[in-house]
Chain A
Amino acid sequence: MFWKFLDNIESVICRVLLSGFVILLFVQIVSREAFGYSFSWIEELSVYMFVWFVYFGASYAAKMSAHNRVTFQFKFLPDHYIKYIEAFADLFWIFFNVCFLYLSYDFVFNKMNKFWKSQTLGIEMKYIYMVLPIAFALMTIRILQVNYRKLIKGENIADPDQIDLDEIKAATDAAKS
């Protein structure tokens, strides 16, 4: 149960954040149009929630192996070669993430100005930027996890763009019968 929750952590966080900023923005619209009143902090808070949503979402996309690659050049290669080539390419991804992890940690904890606060909420920007080291660390784990599943466990991780297609097939078949 706990592991299942942990394995879905990005999805949970993102659903909360997404619903959160969508509702906040709706409140702002209604309040402005109906009562002529604007909450000065909503724009800032929703943008920060959105940034968190994006980077956890990027980690979630990594877990689903959803990040777009150019693959037409592999068209005539057998599948089991492709996964090794892609795993090799993923080494560069891990390299990038590790560098970025170091840079963002250094920025947030050492280089960032200590007075820097958000304009309307007054939260220290340090806490808001914290999403970068956290999400990129998580994303790195997901890349390793995906490659472990593909290379060692031999699983076939479906392209999530493909999932839509199967659903459509099922739905069309259902509609026909």
Chain B
Amino acid sequence: METEIVSILFGSFLILLLIGAPITVALGVSSLISFLYLGDNPIKFVQIAFTSVGSFPLMALPAFILAGALMEAAGISKRLINVAESLAGPFTGGISAATVMACLFFGAISGSGPATTAAVGMLMIPAMIDRGYERGYASAITASSGGLGIIIPPSIPMVIFGIAALGMAPPPEAVEKFGTFSSVSISKLFIAGFVPAFLIATSLLIMNYLLSKKRGYKGVAEGWSAKNIGCEMYRGFWSLMAPLVILGGIYSGFFTPTEAAIVAIFYTLVVGAFIYRELTWASLFQSLEATTWLTGRVLLILFTATVFGRLLVENQIPAIIAESMLSFTENLYVIWALIIFFLLFVGMFMETLATILILVPVMLPVAYSVGIDPIHFGVVMVCTLGIGFQTPPLGENLFIASGISNISIEQISIRALPFAAVNTIAIFVIAFFPELSLWLPRVFGY
């Protein structure tokens, strides 16, 4: 019975994906077919449609998308990046290192990888080309560090992971074996991503230094200019405050993530309308509109992915997958490697948020049953899928970088390979040393 339903569910899902049906349709139709096959009444879909989406923490998603779009329109992002650019020093690969820093800064206000690449790339790719960097290299480092946008909080993929994982309690057998697991919350995920983001940024900086040395990219001739840095920091004061408002609010426990995003929206409106005076009605409308279709398309997937997940749970399939995986190996490191390579592979083809929604119900029980902490698992999952932004055939960051630099995606992705490699090494380090992710949340008392 179980194997039949698994082949029907996954089989029709894959066929529909291959003939180009939208992901949400592939999930919904394969679930519908399976319901009919099992003789269950699909009227369940209706309540799932409503309750899967109707949750308060989920409102963080449109709120962060809107906050990000408004910060762009208000000129906050631009000033943040200018500050990072002023930090480009006299050392080898200075300006490209500043690009990585800019992605880190920008990542602290944006929850999206492609948005980070677009905002940073728009200013930094031309700047790098001006200083004699090869176009392909300039695009590759931007596309690669754009993934930092979803690792450093706030992070839309982490919101989605939190939502998907919230309702999933560890199986009793796992609790018996490993003791109680810590609970999942979006705030906690946000804090957990902080150290790993710096680790990945460091790995990118090291690779950048090595490659720049080989390619002979010198630092800026005039060296560091304290005056310039001070000037940009002064001009960017209100922009630099934005990440403090968001992260400070969440970390101090003053706001829930949803509320932090709401506060960020109003902060941006005030700064954009009265201080920078760059926010227009037209751009405000445009931000609302972009938030609408982006949210609509992701959360329609949430609905169908929840139905899909419900089918799996009712037929106890995640438990079966976990069992067969454990009968293959019980070595935690081997299981981590399998998880990471599988996610890298899926991340090459699939949109990130959809991937999280589909895979969490299947993979989190496996993680629980080998004693992996759910927060740690979430961080590794999001970091790994972040690499997917820079790999073809579907690499959102690549598309954007290629659009800015007018270089083919193939050329950029070859240049991006070394960065993907060090990034992967960093992910293995993050996976093998849980404390990197779990230490900071504990310090904050979570």
Binding site for B on A (CB under 8 A): 10-11, 14-15, 18-19, 21-22, 25-26, 29, 33, 43, 46-48, 50-51, 53-61, 64, 66-75, 82, 85-86, 88-90, 92-93, 95-96, 99-100, 103-104, 106-108, 111, 128-129, 132, 160-161, 164-166, 168-169, 171-172, 175-176
Considering the chains assembled together, what is the distance between the CA atoms of A47 and B49 in angstroms?
14
For B399, what are the chain A residues with a Cβ–Cβ distance below 8 Å? 161, 165
For A165, what are the chain B residues with a Cβ–Cβ distance below 8 Å? 399-400, 403
Q: Is the CB of A175 within 8 A of B122?
A: yes
Considering the chains assembled together, what is the distance between the CA atoms of A106 and B47 in angstroms?
12
Q: Is the CB of A57 within 8 A of B118?
A: no
For A29, what are the chain B residues with a Cβ–Cβ distance below 8 Å? 255, 259, 262-263
User: Nearest-CB distance from A83 to chain B (Å)?
Assistant: 10
Which one of B46, B254, B295, B400 lies within 8 Å of A54 (CB-CB)? B295
Q: Is the CB of A164 within 8 A of B118?
A: yes
Q: How big is the B interface, by class?
A: 35 or more
Nearest A residue (CB) for B394: A72
Which one of B22, B43, B301 lies within 8 Å of A106 (CB-CB)? B43
Q: Beyond the given A29-B263, A60-B293, A85-B19, please list 19 additional residue pairs across the A-B interface where CB-CB is below 8 A.
A: A10-B292, A11-B289, A26-B262, A29-B255, A33-B254, A50-B62, A53-B62, A56-B292, A58-B300, A67-B22, A68-B351, A70-B23, A70-B349, A82-B20, A90-B25, A96-B28, A161-B399, A168-B400, A172-B122
Considering the chains assembled together, what is the distance between the CA atoms of A128 and B58 in angstroms?
18
Q: Is the CB of A95 within 8 A of B29?
A: yes
For B55, what are the chain A residues with a Cβ–Cβ distance below 8 Å? 47
Considering the chains assembled together, what is the distance between the CA atoms of A139 and B49 in angstroms?
15
For A53, what are the chain B residues with a Cβ–Cβ distance below 8 Å? 62, 292, 295
For A86, what are the chain B residues with a Cβ–Cβ distance below 8 Å? 20
For A26, what are the chain B residues with a Cβ–Cβ distance below 8 Å? 262-263, 265-266
Q: Does B32 contact A (CB under 8 A)?
A: yes
Considering the chains assembled together, what is the distance between the CA atoms of A161 and B400 in angstroms?
10
Report if A54-B18 is in contact (Cβ < 8 Å); known contacts: A47-B55, A89-B25.
Answer: no
Report if A54-B43 is in contact (Cβ < 8 Å); known contacts: A25-B258, A47-B56.
Answer: no
B262, B350, B396 pick with most chain A CB within 10 angstroms? B262
Q: Is the CB of A66 within 8 A of B293?
A: yes
User: Nearest-CB distance from A145 to chain B (Å)?
Assistant: 15
For B16, what are the chain A residues with a Cβ–Cβ distance below 8 Å? 89, 92
For A100, what are the chain B residues with a Cβ–Cβ distance below 8 Å? 28, 45-46, 49
Considering the chains assembled together, what is the distance between the CA atoms of A100 and B399 in angstroms?
35
Nearest A residue (CB) for B24: A67
Q: Is the CB of B300 within 8 A of A132?
A: no
B35-86 CB contacts (< 8 Å) to partner A: 42-43, 45-47, 49-50, 53-56, 58-59, 62-63, 66
